[in-house]
Amino acid sequence: MEEKTSLLSKFLQLKSKMHIFANMNDADILSITKNIRLVKFNPGELIIKEGFTDDDIYYILKGEYNIVANRQVIGSFGADTLIGEMASLAKTKRTASVRANSEVIVFSFRIEN
């Protein structure tokens, strides 16, 4: 239980960096946020797969990744970024893949309303 409390505390400390939680208090965030977990991706591993539907949103804590659409790299990014929120909230297919360039550590979570 203490480990889960620590995980939630760390997650809430980052809320100001996640635009989807703008102007929300901790209780409201926790009431709609489910399955908060830390996940590690190895270099070359897919974080998100283009064309698939899932509800996970990822906050990148550490590492670098590429966004790939139609088999072309369209951008490279690193820590302190939020990915997957648009397709998750709209309940649509992923429009691009996200592939780890290095070891990537993320907070993975879902929003339920």
What per-residue confidence (pLDDT) applies to 22?
Answer: 87
* pTM exceeding the 0.85 threshold for the entire prediction: yes
| Single-letter amino acid code for the residue at 52 | F
Residues 6+ apart with CB under 8 A from 105: 38, 39, 40, 41, 60, 61, 62, 63
pLDDT band at 1 (very low <50, low <70, confident <90, very high): low
**Predicted local confidence at residue 95, as pLDDT:** 95
Task: Output the pLDDT for position 2.
Answer: 59
Closest CA to 34 of 4, 65, 14, 3: 4
Q: 60 with 50: CB under 8 angstroms?
A: no
What average pLDDT does the chain have?
Answer: 93
Q: Is 57 exposed, middle or buried (0-12, 13-18, 19+ CB in 10 A)?
A: buried
The CATH number of whichever domain residue 46 belongs to comes to 2.60.120.10
The pLDDT tens digits for 73-98 are 999 999 999 999 999 999 999 999 99
Return d(Cα 93, Cα 88) in angstroms, integer: 8
47 pLDDT more than 70: yes
Domain count, the chain: 1
Domain that holds residue 21: 2-111
